[in-house]
Every structure is written in structure tokens, then in C-alpha cells.
Structure 1
Amino acid sequence: MNQTIQRRLYKLYSSSSRSSFGLRNRISSLGWIVVCGLPLCAFMASMYPRDTFFQLLGVVSAVCIAAFVSVLLRKAQLKVRRLLPRHASVGRPLEYTVEYTNLAKRGLNNFYMLDLAPDPTPSMDVFLHATEPGEEKRNAFDRFFLAYRWNWLKSRFLLMKSKLFLANSVGGEKCGKVRVELLPLRRGVIHLQNMRVVLPDALGLFQRVKRVDQEEDILIVLPKRYRMDSFDFAGQARSQVGGDSSTSTQGQSGEFVSLREYRPGDPPKHIHWPSWGRTGKPILKEYEEMFFPRYGLVLDTAVRAEQEEVFEELVSVAATLTSEMDTDQSLIDVMFIQQGAKVQTVGKNVERVEAMLELLASVEIDPVADWAALKNAVLKHADDLTTCFLVFGDWDDERENFLQSLSSFGISLVVLVVQDEENPVKLNSDYTEITLLNVGEIEQGLASIHL
């Protein structure tokens, strides 16, 4: 299609979207009934000139004029501050407090607070070059006007949903609080800077929407996570004396056992200084060694653009596995391709799980797959790994070779492949222990895994 036409369509959709958004927030449901009833009354009065229709037209017109003048007289000067947590999770409503200060000398009552999502309008470049999944199957009319592509892109870029919350009345130059709620729709970073005060007229037909004085707040939306009550990670410390685990070790740790004389080569940090002072000889604290398992988790980011839903489930599976591991008794190396091989380690004495979840909140599809670099990153820790989880979103020769390379080094592997039932993955592998997880049934699939 001629890009000139597509550019004009983009401008048309953008302007109509802004107009629709403005009207939707400025006219209430009752207001729409009255506004739509006004031309109907005018039509009936012109077609059937009876006193009843003229009286009805006069009443509806008077109500509309009174409500319109009333809403124009409403004013507000507010300054707000959000008391936000650092994190939210996809699909879980988040409640938080908004503190507001009335900067005007007059009191303010009967008003609402609305925290708008960042504008989901795609850029023109994205609109021109993106392709809606299944767009080639649509009829010629839909492919020409691209309305479905526009709606799909808008839904993709909509990060959250919010609604009106009635605030408490506040006196002049006084402060108040209100609890509001938003629903994160996608993982990532949300920049909140669109808080509005909504001022309805006395009749509840029209609303004046004004921006309030505010600072930008940042909310990190973590990936969706699933329950894994029955999952048991191999090598994890369980009811053992000293909490030790006979698996790969990372660092020296343990419980205090006894004191003994210092021997050359012992770490100076374990010297017991009070005993040295009493005896005149260096005395060392002796510890019982403790062992902590170390896990690897490989996240497949090299999926096709049209597999966005599958990719989101891949990230959710990785976030679930990371959250379920006992990081007080283990280490986790999450490895993926993002403009090269990336490795992030969390666990005992390293990083907290929140750091990993924040990283997964921002990971994106990387179609350029450097499987060799990823394999080297895994093999670098191969001797320390108890188990390595491979979370794939597709299957081909490159993934098969990657799997066989790791298997040949004797690494214990758990292979998970996420698939869309409409486009199932065609497995062609000699490795038999592969678990398929279907989109929409991830939690049930994870519950079936046993190590």
C-alpha cells in the first residue's frame, strides 16, 4: 500500500483517538443519554409539532446548558504526591495512597482523582512497519484501512488501567488523602505523570478534567509469576545437620565448631582476637563447611516477533523459577541473549531476587541469536551447576545443538518449551526429557514437573 495513504490513516486514527479519549472523560454515562436525547427531541418536535415535544426539548436543552455552565465554573488547584511501592506485578491490582494539597483558598468538594496511563499511541514509524499477527488472513478492506493493526498496537502499548476514585473534601490550603488503584497490564517500567482531578457539574452530566501539580513517579512492573507448590529443587538443603547440602559449592560458609591454633595458610579473617590476647598465640575459629547448590537458568529471547505472547510466558516461567528457589541457600545464574550473552547472578551474599525480577521486567525479544556466546556463558559455570533449566520458546537445529552441547558436558538439564496450541512446536530431538508448556496452561504444566 502507498505509504502516503498509511500516513494519512495514522493521522486520522491519532486525532480520532484523542478526541474519543477527551469526550469519554468529560461526559458521564448519564450525560451521554441527555446529549444523545437532545437531537432526538429536536427531531421529534420538528416532525410532530406538539406541545409535549417542544416542552421536552426545552427541558433537555435547559438541563444541558445549566450543566455546561456549571462545569465551566468548577476550578481546582491541587498538588499531589504518590506513595507508591517500588514494584507491582502484572495482572495484580495495586492500591496506593495519593496525598493532595489544595493550593487555592477556597475549599474543594465533590471531585475525583484519576491516574492516567502513559499515552499508548504508537509512533508513525511503528504503525507503518509493524504487522498484526494474522493480518495477512484479513480481507482486503481491513488490510487497506489497517484499523485492526491500530487497535492491536494500542493494546500492546497500554501499560495499565485505572478508574475514577472519589476524594474527600478538602478546605482551602489544606491537605487530604485518597486511596486509588491501578491494574498493570504489561511488565516493564511505568512513568506516572498524568494524574488528573475530575470535577463533575452539579447535575452529574459533564466533567472538567484538569492536570494537577505532580512529580514523575516510576513503577517497575514485575513479570507474572505462577504458583509452584509441588516443585522441589534438587540439591536444596532440607533438614540436614548444619543445613548443608551435598551439591556444588559457592564460597566458604558454615557454623562455628571450635578454636584451634593458627597454622600457616589459614585465612586471617578467622582469627579469634580475644583468645590471642589471653594466650599470646594466634588462635583461629574453625567452622564446619556448608555447601550451597547453584542453579543455571537459560531464557530463550530469540523468538519471532509474532510470538510475543509466547515470549511473555517465557519471561513469566523464568520469573517463577527464580522466585521459587531458596536464595538463602543457593545461587541462581540467569543467562539470556540481549545484544550478546548476559549473565545475572542472585542468591546468598550476591544479589536479592528483586534485582533479577527487575531485570526480567525489562528484557525484550532479541532476534539475533548468538547461541555460541550463550553456550560459553553456561559452560563457564558448568562445574558449579547443580541443575540447569532451559526455557525455550521454539525449536530448531540451533536449539537442538545447544541442548546437545550442554548435555555432553554432563550438566543436569531440565528443558521446558513454551508453545501456543494454535502453532505447536515440532520437537525433533534425541533428548527425551522435554516438558511442553501450553500458553494459558503454564501453571498446570509447571505442577507436573518433578526433578
Structure 2
Amino acid sequence: MGRMNVAWLRASLYPGLRRLERWQRFQHQGLTPLGRFVLGLGFAAAIFGIDPRLNQLYQLFTLALSLLLFAGLAAVVDGRWRRGQVSASRELPRTASVGTPLDYRVRLHCRGRRTWRAWFLTERLPDPTPTRAQFRDSRQGADAGDAWFDRLMGYPRWRRLLAANRAVRVGEPQAVDHLSVNQLTQVRLRLTPLRRGYLRLPGLWLTRPDPLGLVQVRVRVPREQSLLVLPRRYPAPRLSLPGRRQYQPGGWTLAGAVGDSQEFIGLREYRPGDSPRLIHWPSWARSGSPQVKEFQDEFFTRHALVLDTFAASVSLNAGDARDASDATFEAAVSVAASLCDRIGDEDSLLDLLFVGAETYCFTGGRGLGGVGQFLEILACAQPAAAGSVAQLEQALRGRIGQLSALVLVLLAFDAPRRKLVRTLARAGLPLRILVISTRDAPALNAGWSGPPAQPIHPERIGEGLAQVVE
């Protein structure tokens, strides 16, 4: 089948798969277990009672359909009548971590005229339905083990895309026995973030079964809030990197800023040849003689943690699926997050450098921000949409003179990345090279005579970091 025909087939299948997902979600969230049993019973009766001359099962189908329609109508009327009578607010922390359960409180305020009894509270989750562009891209969610028919129809890939798009997992709905009028009711909920970045919570649901116990009455409680989810971290040894102190133009308080300012140490009398820009005018006004600001240069240790963001080049060279390259990038982010407070000592600076839409360099340590700042930055890091490793090499060339050592977190160890390592090694910088790879160290370093690279398996990050030589 031609490529155009396959693309047309995927485009035509998307609306049907989207409707199927909505139907499955309705069965899971809109029906009670008893309601799902009645629905299945009705379908079975419709199939086996299709000929009314042979049996009377069509009556069972009619009964099941009538019960579900009546219960559904009652649930819709009850939910619409109660809409807008309850407001909510969450007590969320500023940040959370991937894979770590988060317990928080929700305050409910009932503005209706009657007390609400025997309800359940749960979060409304962001819609994980894949977009049309996601589904049409055959690399997203692909699996080499899929049969040709599965690859053609795309349903297994659709299920994997749904799982990949789910940003959060919530706990069981919590019972709310009473919602008294004009009183605050506190309920504890739990969620577990599954992806880093900003998590948007659109609101909450108040639910209870209808009088027949078949359909869930659902009342939407609008309350949109966002939560920054930090990358998953793993225990890692402290990296004692060799390297000498380097001259830092601007001193350590201005090491992360742009410009040539130096560290201010005091005032002195003006001497011929001093720049007029150094004159301290308030002191001249007080003393009657010109005073200038005096600075001193500083030398200290400054390391760099470099994150490789060029995941597209890895998948293009290796022919992997896009979700495999995404998993490799997420593993690299977790490695960088685990090491951002394990490099150097308290008297050194650390630069976090990566390439996105532009080159980003963030400096921490010695009063310029700590691990929290780096984690928030890494939470929002994304793979570079275009470009090559040469951009990373160019960004590092201008900083080599200020750095004492580097830690490279690479997505592969192919020719462009080996060229980058060779360039940095020629500059005399101590290097620690960590590569996200499923290969072992001898296979990864085959044919390579430069600084050795240490592989870290994307599914065994903690084990790989524990083997990092101090």
C-alpha cells in the first residue's frame, strides 16, 4: 500500500478511534459496576435475541435499555440542577516530583439550599486523547513487535499514545458524607504525577450513583490550577572532578551575568587614567574630591553540566521510534537532575547548559541559586526541534577558558558527539562522559581512544549512577 494511502487511512481512522475512546471513558467513569453489568447484559440479549420468533431475549434487551435510559436521564437532571452550588480550592505545594505521590487538601464550600449527603470527590484529569498530528506520525507510539495489520490500523499504537499522554494518576474517590450549607468541608486527595513540566488540573468531580445505582451523577466543580512537576531523581555519588581555578571576569557574584564588571571591594582616590565610568558620584559630593570604585578579579572553580537535547538526530540515525528517543531524553533529564547537586563543592559554581530554541546557560552555587533552581529549569527542558550537536560545541567553545571541568550527559555516542568530546579534551578540560545507552561500556567505547564514556541504561538509571567512579 502506498504511503499516501496509508496516511489517508490513518486520517480516516482517527475520528472513529476518538469516539471509541469517549465511549470507553463513559463506561468507566459514567457507569457504576452494576450499570456496566446491565449494559453488557443488554448487548448480549440484543445479539442472541435478534430473532424474536426463536426466543424472548429481546424483552431483556428492552428492559436493560429502559433502565439505563431512565437512570441516565435522572443523573443528567440531578447533575444540572446542582451545577454551580459548590466551589472548591486546593492546597497544593509549588512543586511535585515525577512518580512521588502527593497528598493535598481540598476545601469545599456549599452555596446551595440543601445539605449534600453521600457524595464522592475526585479530580478531573486532563484529556489524554492523542491529537490528529500525533496519530498520523507513525513514529510516535510505534513498537517493532506490532504485526503489519496492527501497524496499518493503528489501535495498539493508539493505546500506547493514550498511556504516554496521561500526565497524572489519581487515587480512589474520597467520600464526602456531608456538605453543609455555607460551611467549609475539607477532603484529602492524592495524585501521582507521571510526567515532568507544568501539570494543569482543570477541576474536580462530585459523584454519586443515581437512585437505581446504574449511572453516576456527576457535578463539575470548576477550579483550574497548575503545578510544576520536577524530574525524577536518583541517588548519585558526589563527583570530585579535577581541575584548577580559573579567572572569572566579573567575580563570583556576577559570574552568571553578561558583562565585564568585577567584584566591588571599596573606594579609593581618583588617579589619572581612571575611567570616568568608575567615579562614585555620591562620595565625590560628600568628600569634595573625586572617588572611584575599586574592583578585584577572582579565581575559583567553575564546573559545567551539559545536557544533550538533540534527540531527533539519535532517532534519525538509529531508525528508532520517536517514543524511544523521548524515553532516552527523559532518562538524560533525570540523570542531569540527579547530578546537579553532586558536582563540585559548596565553594564552586556550576553551569547548567543545553540548547533549545536558543542556547541556555544557568549558573548556580555560592549564593546564585541551588538545586531547586536547576530542577525547575530541567522540568521544562524540551528536546531541540532542529539543529545539531555542532551548536552545542560552538556554545562550549566560548566558555572553555572559564571552566575547570565538564560533565556531559549525552543521548548517544556517535560521530558528532565523539567530535565534541575530542574538541573539549584537546582544550585540556577534565571530562566525565555519561551516555544514555543500552550497550555496555566496551561496546560503547569500541574504536574510541579518547576519554571513556560510561553507559547508563534508560531503565536502570539508579544502578548506572551508583557505578559512577568518584
Distance in 1 between residues matched to 2:159 and 2:361, nearest whole Å: 36
Residue 326 of structure 1, CA deviation: 7.2
Query: Are 2:168 and 1:160 equivalent residues in the alignment?
Result: yes
390-399 vs 333-342, which moves further: 333-342
Secondary structure, aligned partner of 1:183: strand
Name the aligned partner's letter for residue 401 of structure 1.
K
Distance in 1 between residues matched to 2:187 and 2:160, nearest whole Å: 34
Q: Indicate the residue corresponding to 1:374 in structure 2.
A: 392
Q: Indicate the residue corresponding to 1:231 in structure 2.
A: 238
Secondary structure, aligned partner of 2:127: coil
**373, 396, 409: which one pairs with 1:355?**
373
Q: Is the CA contact (8 Å cut-off) linking 2:117 and 2:179 kept in structure 1?
A: yes
Q: How does 1:15-34 map to 2 (within 5 A)?
A: 15-34=19-38
Change (3 A) 1:307 1:213: closer
Query: Are 2:448 and 1:429 equivalent residues in the alignment?
Result: yes
Distance in 1 between residues matched to 2:469 and 2:385, nearest whole Å: 31
**300, 305, 328: which one pairs with 1:297?**
305
**407, 411, 420: which one pairs with 1:402?**
420
Change (3 A) 1:262 1:6: closer
Name the aligned partner's letter for residue 156 of structure 1.
A
Unmatched runs of 5 consecutive residues or more in structure 1: 237-244, 270-275, 278-287
Distance in 2 between residues matched to 1:8 and 1:62, nearest whole Å: 34
Q: Indicate the residue corresponding to 1:184 in structure 2.
A: 193
Name the aligned partner's letter for residue 359 of structure 2.
A
Distance in 2 between residues matched to 1:343 and 1:253, nearest whole Å: 15
Residue 103 of structure 1, CA deviation: 2.0
Q: Is the CA contact (8 Å cut-off) linking 1:111 and 1:166 kept in structure 2?
A: yes
Alignment deviations for residues 287-319 of structure 1 (CA, whole Å, 9 cap, x no partner): x99975321011111122342211110010011
411-420 vs 359-368, which moves further: 359-368
RMSD of equivalent CA atoms: 4.3
Q: Indicate the residue corresponding to 2:15 in structure 1.
A: 11
Q: Is the CA contact (8 Å cut-off) linking 1:249 and 1:293 kept in structure 2?
A: no
Residue 408 of structure 1, CA deviation: 0.7
**185, 198, 207: which one pairs with 1:198?**
207
Alignment deviations for residues 155-186 of structure 1 (CA, whole Å, 9 cap, x no partner): 22111111322234111232211111111111
Query: Are 2:333 and 1:315 equivalent residues in the alignment?
Result: yes
Q: Indicate the residue corresponding to 1:282 in structure 2.
A: none
Alignment deviations for residues 215-255 of structure 1 (CA, whole Å, 9 cap, x no partner): x2111111111112x3243479xxxxxxxx9677686579x
Residue 8 of structure 1, CA deviation: 2.4
Normalising by the residue count of structure 2, what TM-score does the alignment of the two structures yield?
0.76
Residue 134 of structure 1, CA deviation: 5.0
**109, 112, 123: which one pairs with 1:101?**
109
Name the aligned partner's letter for residue 111 of structure 1.
W
Q: Indicate the residue corresponding to 1:151 in structure 2.
A: 159
Distance in 1 between residues matched to 2:112 and 2:325, nearest whole Å: 52
Change (3 A) 1:8 1:194: farther
Aligned residues: 424
Q: Indicate the residue corresponding to 1:329 in structure 2.
A: 347
292-301 vs 33-42, which moves further: 33-42
Query: Are 2:167 and 1:140 equivalent residues in the alignment?
Result: no
319-328 vs 123-132, which moves further: 319-328
Percent same amino acid among aligned pairs? 26
Q: Indicate the residue corresponding to 1:419 in structure 2.
A: 437
Name the aligned partner's letter for residue 414 of structure 1.
R
Q: How does 1:198-347 map to 2 (within 5 A)?
A: 198-201=207-210, 204-214=213-223, 216-228=224-236, 230-234=237-241, 292-303=300-311, 304=315, 305=322, 306-325=324-343, 329-347=347-365
Name the aligned partner's letter for residue 194 of structure 1.
G
Query: Are 2:145 and 1:127 equivalent residues in the alignment?
Result: no
Unmatched runs of 5 consecutive residues or more in structure 2: 254-264, 281-285, 288-295, 316-321
Secondary structure, aligned partner of 1:360: helix
Q: Indicate the residue corresponding to 2:319 in structure 1.
A: none
Name the aligned partner's letter for residue 183 of structure 2.
K
Normalising by the residue count of structure 1, what TM-score does the alignment of the two structures yield?
0.79
Query: Are 2:402 and 1:387 equivalent residues in the alignment?
Result: no
